[in-house]
Amino acid sequence: MEENTELKGKVVVVTGASAGLGRAIVREFAKHGAHLGLLARGKDGLEGAKREVEEYGGKAVIVPTDVADPDQVEAAAEQIEKELGPIDFWVNNAMISVFGPFKKIEPNDFKRVTEVTYLGQVYGTQAALKRMLPRDSGSIILVGSALAYRGIPLQSAYCGAKHGIQGFFDSLRSELYHDNSKVHLSMVQLPAMNTTQFSFVKSLLPNKPRPMGTIYQPEVAARAIVHVALNPQRELYVGYPTVQAILGNKFVPGLLDKYLGSIGYEGQQTDEPKDPNRKNNLYEPLPGDYGAHGDFDAQSWDFSPQVWAATHKAVVWGALASVAFTFGVLATRKWS
């Protein structure tokens, strides 16, 4: 994606900015000259993200924040506006998860995933709207997943949180329409990605966890999110597997229950036994700067034809119209 001057000097807040997809989102906005407010718990990763923003010539403010605490989120928004100016875009990306059968997940762990992954987006949206509504401008992007529509085994807490975000999104958009608000609200639904979460998510599985199905590099999603920021729309699906999962669940949900029950356990684990001393970031961040990519670079796609088509609709429709016109001319000549 070429540099877009529309983002130059704009203020963008990204939650979960220290690693994984959040880190890729930060880099993508920074490439276009945006200034970044960086929220996450891990200070090492935040410092690394700040350096990258500054290398692109932008400004960055880091605010160590647990998005499960609405007071911390509100304080972060206040600090960012004081140091960078009015917030133009807010990207709710922070997440955590627990991998394991529901029957083995502790209630407090399930609650923690819900508070960060679901309520973190609610609190972020509240903080953004508090500032955007009086100005009647701004854009909020909720980071969703194919799992917001179709749950899979071993990720009940995460899937439940993403489903909750989807319902919240529908409700809030209706309210914004009622109020004739010019604040934009969008949701981007993601596929399996090669992010750092698989290295430190809490796992009850015997083997090392892995993304299920076709894996994409986080930059694919980051570019899609920047596109939505520049071209507000209700929803954007990233990757054909996302489209496939959402449509499949709409038409054959019972069949998917059985299919995922048969492949979902093996499909989310590598052949490598889990390190018995493995640490996780469920309640506390792990020290270190983990960057954006996980351990699955060799298996990951760095381009999605489906995303390209979805973000270049004018070109696609023009090409289809040209093809249709050509066939029409040929058919007319044949029968004339």
* In-domain check, residue 329: no
* Side-chain half-sphere exposure of 220, counting CA atoms within 13 A: 28
- DSSP of 73-97, one letter per residue? HHHHHHHHHHHH-S--EEEE-----
Among residues 158, 216, 237, 290, the one annotated as catalytic is: 158
For all residues of the chain together, what is the average pLDDT?
94
Strand partners, 311: none
Domain extent at residue 101: 5-303
Rounded to whole angstroms, the Cα distance separating 94 from 17 reads 7
pLDDT of residue 4: 75
* In-domain check, residue 160: yes
CATH number at residue 148: 3.40.50.720
pLDDT of residue 2: 58
Query: What is the number of structural domains in the chain?
Result: 1
| pLDDT grade for 5, boundaries at 50, 70 and 90 | confident
Rounded to whole angstroms, the Cα distance separating 56 from 289 reads 19
78: pLDDT strictly greater than 70: yes
Percent of the residues in the chain that have a pLDDT greater than 90, as a whole number: 90
Rounded to 5 degrees, φ, ψ at 99 are -95, 125
* In-domain check, residue 279: yes
Rounded to whole angstroms, the Cα distance separating 206 from 276 reads 9
Q: Which residues contact 292 (CB under 8 A, 6 or more apart)?
A: 19, 20, 21, 23, 24, 27, 195, 196, 218, 219
- Closest by CA to 145, choosing from 248, 245, 250, 266, is 245
Between residues 94 and 321, the one the model is more confident about: 94
* In-domain check, residue 328: no
CB atoms within 10 A of CB 155: 24
Q: Where are the alpha helices (DSSP H) in the chain?
A: 20-31, 43-55, 70-84, 107-113, 120-135, 156-178, 197-200, 218-230, 240-251, 253-263, 305-311, 313-335
Mean pLDDT to the nearest integer, 82-88: 98
**Distances 53 to 13, 62, 104, 285 between C-alpha atoms, Å:** 13, 11, 41, 22
pLDDT of residue 296: 97
* In-domain check, residue 255: yes
pLDDT digits (tens, 9 = 90+) for 211-267: 999 999 999 999 999 999 999 999 999 999 999 999 999 999 999 999 999 999 999
Rounded to whole angstroms, the Cα distance separating 120 from 56 reads 28
pLDDT of residue 312: 84
pLDDT digits (tens, 9 = 90+) for 288-323: 999 999 999 999 999 999 999 999 876 655 655 555
Rounded to 5 degrees, φ, ψ at 271 are -85, 0
Strand partners, 35: 11
Looking up tokens 């044949």 gives 334
Rounded to whole angstroms, the Cα distance separating 58 from 29 reads 10
Q: Is 239 left (phi over 0), alpha (psi -120 to 50) or beta?
A: left
Instruction: For residue 56, indicate whether it is catalytic.
Output: no
- What's the gap between Cα 29 and its chain centre? 14
Percent of the residues in the chain that have a pLDDT greater than 70, as a whole number: 92
Query: Do the strands 192-193 and 184-189 form a parallel or antiparallel pair, or are they unpaired?
Result: unpaired
* In-domain check, residue 153: yes
* In-domain check, residue 78: yes
* In-domain check, residue 334: no
